Amino acid sequence: MATPTTIVEGFSISHSAILNGTTGAEIADIYGVREGSLDVDSDSFDNTGDDAVLSSWSWINFATVSITSGYVPFNVLATLTGAAITSSGTAESTYYNLPLWNEKSMNQSPKPVLLRIPSKDHTGLVRTLDIILYKVQFDPISFDGPSYKDGLVLNYSGKALLSSTDEKGTALSEKAVGRLISTP
């Protein structure tokens, strides 16, 4: 078998999860990802003199992560809001309860996030491309719908901030938003 190359092509997000922040293990699966995006918020400054741009400085502020899903995973919402899921009943009569948008649920601590993308390298070898974001500060969730044929859609969004530690809590030599990993 050929050695994979460092040039990979990604398809679409097939999996997303919140990680625990100490071992990198998944603690909450954002089930049924329909769509996702990761956009960097950057800025620059042009140093001018003698009627010309002498140098240009660029930086990033954060990256915005957005994920939409057609499922409502109670354990993910509990992880993001710090709320407890309660249940009652037995067998098919079991019901689950979780507070929605209460004061205590806003501005929870940032969480590491995994975005998984099926991919292949430029020679066609199948790969998996993981984007690991070290520190995502989530906004309150929002809903679209329910609408005909689309149903109810749950929207997650947040800011991936510069972090001095990775998804396992290990100190980094310089602050970073995350990293890319290409695996077989």
C-alpha to C-alpha distance for 134 and 168, rounded to whole angstroms? 9
Residue range 71-121, pLDDT digits in tens: 989 999 999 999 999 999 999 999 999 999 988 888 899 999 999 999 998
Lowest-pLDDT range, 1-15, 71-85, 128-142? 1-15
**Whole-number pLDDT of residue 118:** 94
- For residue 169, the SS3 value is coil
Residue range 19-44, pLDDT digits in tens: 999 999 999 999 989 999 999 999 99
Over range 50-78, report the average pLDDT: 93
Residues, the chain:
184
**Whole-number pLDDT of residue 1:** 65
Q: What CATH number was assigned to the domain covering residues 8-43+52-183?
A: 2.30.110
**Whole-number pLDDT of residue 156:** 94
**Whole-number pLDDT of residue 151:** 85
Q: Which residue has the tokens 């899903």?
A: 69
Over range 131-154, report the average pLDDT: 90
| Composition of the chain by helix, strand, coil, percent to 5 | 10, 60, 35
> Rounded to an integer, what is the distance from CA 1 to the centroid of its chain?
33
**Whole-number pLDDT of residue 76:** 93
Residue range 148-170, pLDDT digits in tens: 877 889 999 999 999 999 999 99
C-alpha to C-alpha distance for 160 and 112, rounded to whole angstroms? 9
* Sequential DSSP letters for 34-60: EEEEEEEEEEEEEEEETTEEEEEEEEE
